[in-house]
Amino acid sequence: MRQPIAKIAMLALVAPLAGTTLLATAPAGATAATTAATTTASDPFSVFKISNVKYTKKAKPGGLVKYTFTATNTGPYDADYYWIGGTLPKGVDTKKKLYWNGPKGTECDWEGSEFWCWTPHVLEVDESDWLSIQFRLKKTARGAQVGAVGAINFDVPHGAEDLDKKRLKELGIKGWIYTKKVKTAVVR
């Protein structure tokens, strides 16, 4: 069973990786075969491609902004421990509701400026999930409102899905974030 808030909290552990992968370094004097094996071992189980990003380019203060995007698992393995979502701009009105739409069975969680959604199914290689988010800006919002949409993926081995955050960290479970920036200009 997924525990979204606890797992999303792990985002803080991988946030500096935004869009990059972890690469292990080989010790001095290592052979080419050892170096290739080390690099392969640190690659993510599933790499996500963020596409079809559509968003509101201009909005008035207090107006509605909509983000729509697709996250595709490009492999090499199925993704069973992933979320799609992102970060909302600073000018979002947190007192208003956040509206979302996605594949059947999608659930979302919104905390602070981050929103993350998950589905009950496994995303096989070359399959996609889509998400549409709509929110209202504050009436005092000004300038460029920058957010990010994408996916986060954890390399959790089978049987370790219910381990707590501390134990996953001890085991060295890695995560990757794949995002694209979206920018809405506030016009009067």
Asked whether residue 135 is domain-assigned, the answer is: yes
Number of domains in the chain: 1
Distance set, CA 101 to CA 47, 66, 139, 166 (Å): 23, 11, 25, 32
Asked whether residue 178 is domain-assigned, the answer is: yes
| Closest among 155, 174, 177 to 19, alpha carbons compared | 177
Which tens digit of pLDDT belongs to each residue from 106-158?
999 888 889 999 988 889 999 999 999 999 999 999 999 999 999 988 877 77
Asked whether residue 144 is domain-assigned, the answer is: yes
Distance set, CA 54 to CA 50, 51, 69, 105, 176 (Å): 11, 9, 6, 23, 23
* CA pseudo-torsion sign 77, 121, 116, 98: positive
Asked whether residue 150 is domain-assigned, the answer is: yes
CATH number, position 182 = 2.60.40.740
Amino acid at 148: A
Asked whether residue 172 is domain-assigned, the answer is: yes
Count of other CB atoms within 10 angstroms of residue 41: 8
Amino acid at 3: Q
Radius of gyration in angstroms for the set of CA atoms belonging to the chain, rounded to a whole number? 18
Asked whether residue 62 is domain-assigned, the answer is: yes
Which tens digit of pLDDT belongs to each residue from 62-107?
999 999 999 999 989 888 888 999 999 999 988 888 899 999 999 9
Considering only residues 95 and 54, tell me which one the structure prediction assigns the higher pLDDT: 54
